[in-house]
Every structure is written in C-alpha cells, then in structure tokens.
Amino acid sequence: MSAAFDQKIHETLADPKLQLAIYKATGRLVEERRKAIEPDLCPDYQELRTHANAIKRHTIEHLDHYLEEFSRQVEAHGGKVVFCKDAEEVSDFVLSLAKERRAELIVKSKSMTTEEIDLNERLEHHHLESVETDLGEYIIQLAHERPYHIVAPALHKTREQVADLLTERLGVPRETVIEKQTMIARAVLREKFLAADIGVSGANFLVADSGAVVIVENEGNARLTTSAPKIHIAVAGIEKLIPRAQDLAVFLKLLGRSATGQRLTVYTSFLSGPKREDEIDGPDEFYVVLLDNGRTKVLADRDKRQSLYCIRCGACLNHCPVYRKIGGHSFPWVYSGPIGAILTPQFLGVRHEPGLPFASSLCGACAEVCPVKIDIPRILLELRSEVKKAEARDGAGRLERLAFRIWAWVMRHPRMYEMAGMAAASLAPSNGDGWIRNAPFNAGPLRAWLSQRDLPPAAAKSFRQMWRER
C-alpha cells in the first residue's frame, strides 16, 4: 500500500463529520434500493439481472460488430462518430471543433467518462470555459475536487461547506438553506445554458440498432445540455453499447432502482442525431465520441472483461463496508468503491496502487447487488494474484513469500500445525481485551502484516483439544 493511500484512509477515518455523512448517504441509498426491489414492487428483479448480464456478455463479446452498427446508424441520422484512443484525442477533437465554430462556452452534464479523462481541465488549459451543470458536479467543480461517489458526486459536502463555496466563488451573500443554495446555482447555470455554444454530455447507454445516446438524470441539466446549444457532443466509453432499443426495458428498470431506488429517473433522453427538418429546437450538430482509453486492454482478458458490463449505478459503493469507512477520495482514481478497485488496476496497471485490490474484506456484497452481476470479488482475487506476481518480478515481497511457504508447509503437517498454534497462543500478548494489534510489534516483519489486521485473542482451548476431550 502506498503512503498516500494509507494517509487518505486514516484522514477519512479520523473525521467524524465525514464518517457520518458517508454513512448516512450510503445508508439512505441502500434503503431506497431495498424498497424498490421488494418482490411485490419488482417481482422479476432477479430475472432482470440475469437477462442484463446475458445481454452485456453478448454485446461485449461482439463489441466490434455493435460499434460498427452503431456508427452506421448515427451517420444515417445525420450525426458523426469519432473514435478516440485516449484523453488527448478527445480534447483535441473538442478543441478543434470549438475553434472551427468559434465556440467559447461549453456546458457539461454529468459524465464519469469525462472525469476519467480530465476533460474540463484539458479544455480550460486552452482557455475554453467548460461548466458542470449537475448540481453536485457544479459544487465539486467550484471546489476543484473530483467526484466522491459515482452517482452522488458531492456526497461529502455539508450545507455549510457549500455556503462557503458559493460565497467565495460566486460572490453571493452566505446562504445555508439548501433550497436557496440550489436556486442560486439554478440561476447561474440557466444563464450558462442559454449562452453556451456546445453541450457535452456522457451516455448511460449507446443503442446500436438506433444510433442513439441514452441519458438518465433527475435534474434536467442533461436535457438542457443536449437541447439548448447548437452542438451536442456525447462522450462515452466503447463498452456502453447495447444491441436494441428494446433492451432498455431491462436496463432502465435496473439502473434507477439500483442507483437511487427510483422506478425510472425523472428524465430519460433517447437522442438519435441532430434535430430533423422543421424541428424548432435541438442541436444542429450531433457527435458521439467513442473512447478506448484502456478499455481494449480490459477486453483482451477473457476472465476480467466482465468489468466492462458496469452501468455505473453506484450500488456496490453504497453496500461496501470498506467504501462506507474510507470514502470516495481515498481511492486512487475517479472510480471508487468495489468497481473502482477492479477498474483502476486494469486501466492504470496493478503497480499504480498495489494495495487497492487488498482493500476489501471479500464479503461479496458488491456482487450480490450488482445489477449486471459482475463477479467483483473473483476479479479482486485475480488482481491480488497479479499484484503479487508483479512484486515477484520486481524482486519485492521476498519475506512474505517465504512466510507463506513456511505456512503452507506447516498446514500440510497436522502435528506441526497444532504445536505452532499452541506456541502462538502462548506467545500472544494480552493487552486488555486480548486482541492482537499493531502496537506491541512496532518493528520487524509482523508490523507490516498487523498494520492492516487485528487478530482476535487466542481461544483457551484449540478445536483439536476440544475434539479430543468431547
């Protein structure tokens, strides 16, 4: 584990206000989801998951075909598809289009993909103003932070912090009433929507048979982003495809329920191309940017390519006992929680944060709630193995490997195992409650092991002893 990861975790654990905020917000989302999938409200919930998994598997296994069908359909409706291999190609495309059209202001709706490639920073570096319009995203853009949660980006901010931010950045009188804060943001952003030259959105789904971009939201900012400016650019990862519009019957039901417990979100936009002849409003130009940025690397791994089924509902974060303690900003990349723990090493390499796949109790809650049934714990185990192999290649972790070799030998020799158990129990210090913690071993190899683990006190009698005496 890197020092930065360790430090952020400890900072989060030591902040009681933040702990409460995370606990309350994720707890509420867990409860809303639970109510929405109750059998009398959603009797076919498990069938929907199975079906969603089958559709995603099929689409990912034939992704080239669906990408081509999607491109043909977008072009048939007068739109353009731009394939980009990385972040730089996306910003180059947006910048050159902005330059050609003399655009100065971009409005953005929420998109994890554009967070992944730091699109705002790249555009602002070239003096192009790019404003986030989802309320939570707007707040974290004002704070120069990254999203704390996939669906609730400003989950960690209190109304007092928001009040300070609005006053500091917008020069408005301090306002701590949430309704009024929201209306301040509405007024500022309304002006931006009406003045913007380009709207940049993400996409929840790309529909191959229709050439359509599907966006779900509650605020209406994505609708404004995609219908007020004359140019709409949707940026999406290549894995967002589904074969048919009819498949939305499965995915929309799962996404709203899993994310926020809604049967459908307030707005679902199904956008296929620029405005048509005689339509009064809507964009004149429609672009879909299809981003690789490491996805084809994930795709090449037969066992782990299911990571690309993710529909970004955030349910695995809300249910994760680790996320609920260490929060979103402890994670080393924009994707946090269990899905972040499997995406980050695959996109950025296992050496980026070797501790990440280990920051899990493997309790399995994430897999249980995943609407597309990604087997996150299994992928975490495989990534742990890859971390250890990489360490071995780097010549690190010799002591740990030796310890495990000895352990394996002891485990295969029952008498040895019993003796070792007795020896360990008699050596273990008892400080108060009998738990073995890091403190007594402040040096040496045991420190590394115990820094992340507390051991329960040894039982008075071992199981073998009790078995003999029964």
Partner 1 sequence: MSREAVLHKVRTALGRNAGQTVDEPPPARLVVPEVDIEARIQSFCERIEALAGKTYRAASAGMVRDYISTLVAGRTAVASNAPILRECGIDLLPGVQTGITDRDQLRAACSTAPCGISGADYALADTGTLVMLSSPQEARLISLLPPVYIALVARARLLTGLDELLSILPRPAEQTSSMVLITGPSRTADIEQILVRGVHGPGEIHVVVV
What residues pair up with 232 in beta bridges, in sequence order? Answer: 199, 286
Closest C-alpha among 282, 331, 2 to residue 148: 331
Smallest distance, Å, CB 290 to partner 1?
Answer: 7
Structure tokens at 315: 């349910």
Structure tokens at 287: 């672009």
DSSP secondary structure string, 115-158? HHTTHHHHHHHTT-EEEE-SHHHHHHHHTT---SSSS-TTTT--
Smallest distance, Å, CB 160 to partner 1?
Answer: 10
Residue from 6, 164, 209, 418 in contact with partner 1 (CB under 8 A): 209
Using rule CB under 8 A, residue 378 touches partner 1: no
Residue from 159, 352, 401, 405 in contact with partner 1 (CB under 8 A): 159
Residue from 142, 154, 359, 379 in contact with partner 1 (CB under 8 A): 154
Using rule CB under 8 A, residue 433 touches partner 1: no
Using rule CB under 8 A, residue 201 touches partner 1: no
Contact mark string toward partner 1, 390..409, x via CB under 8 A: --------------------
Residue from 91, 130, 181, 306 in contact with partner 1 (CB under 8 A): 181
Using rule CB under 8 A, residue 266 touches partner 1: yes
Using rule CB under 8 A, residue 218 touches partner 1: yes
- Window contacting partner 1 (CB under 8 A); options: 118-126, 127-135, 397-405, 428-436: 127-135
Asked if residues 201 and 111 have their Cβ atoms less than 8 Å apart, the reply is yes
Is 277 or 469 the residue whose CB approaches partner 1 more closely? 277
Smallest distance, Å, CB 354 to partner 1?
Answer: 25
Q: How far apart are CA 138 and CA 108, in angstroms?
A: 10
Residue from 10, 72, 85, 398 in contact with partner 1 (CB under 8 A): 85
Residues 326-365 that bind partner 1 (CB under 8 A): none
Alpha-carbon distances of 470 from 93, 394, 422, 425, 461, rounded to whole Å: 75, 50, 19, 21, 12
Using rule CB under 8 A, residue 88 touches partner 1: no
DSSP secondary structure string, 29-62? HHHHHHHHT-TTT-TTHHHHHHHHHHHHHHHHHT
Is 119 or 356 the residue whose CB approaches partner 1 more closely? 119
Is 41 or 399 the residue whose CB approaches partner 1 more closely? 41
Closest C-alpha among 222, 224, 215, 216 to residue 193: 224
Q: How far apart are CA 416 and CA 185, in angstroms?
A: 68
Using rule CB under 8 A, residue 170 touches partner 1: no
Asked if residues 248 and 208 have their Cβ atoms less than 8 Å apart, the reply is no
Residues 232-251 that bind partner 1 (CB under 8 A): 238, 243-250
Using rule CB under 8 A, residue 152 touches partner 1: yes
- Please tell me the count of residues contacting partner 1 according to CB under 8 A: 102
Residue from 34, 104, 270, 405 in contact with partner 1 (CB under 8 A): 270
Is 12 or 181 the residue whose CB approaches partner 1 more closely? 181
Asked if residues 170 and 34 have their Cβ atoms less than 8 Å apart, the reply is no
The total of other beta-carbon atoms located within 10 Å of residue 438's CB is 15
Long-range contact pairs involving 272-280 (C-beta distance under 8 Å, separation at least 24): 272/73, 272/74, 272/77, 272/79, 272/207, 272/210, 272/211, 272/212, 272/213, 273/74, 273/77, 273/78, 273/79, 273/211, 274/77, 274/78, 274/79, 274/232, 276/78
Contact mark string toward partner 1, 278..317, x via CB under 8 A: xxxxx-------x-x---xx-xx----x------------
Asked if residues 282 and 275 have their Cβ atoms less than 8 Å apart, the reply is yes
Residues 64-83 that bind partner 1 (CB under 8 A): 64-65, 67-68, 71, 73, 77, 81-83
Using rule CB under 8 A, residue 112 touches partner 1: no
Is 181 or 344 the residue whose CB approaches partner 1 more closely? 181
Residues 16-35 that bind partner 1 (CB under 8 A): 21, 24-25, 28
Using rule CB under 8 A, residue 54 touches partner 1: yes
Is 71 or 114 the residue whose CB approaches partner 1 more closely? 71
Is 114 or 265 the residue whose CB approaches partner 1 more closely? 265
Smallest distance, Å, CB 244 to partner 1?
Answer: 6
What residues pair up with 130 in beta bridges, in sequence order? Answer: 106
**8-state DSSP, 333:** S
- Window contacting partner 1 (CB under 8 A); options: 114-122, 263-271, 321-329, 380-388: 263-271
Structure tokens at 431: 């400080």
DSSP secondary structure string, 261-275? S-SS-SEEEEE-SS-
Decide: helix, strand or coil at residue 98.
Answer: helix
Residue from 7, 34, 38, 61 in contact with partner 1 (CB under 8 A): 61
Residue from 1, 6, 15, 51 in contact with partner 1 (CB under 8 A): 51
First vs last C-alpha separation in the chain = 45
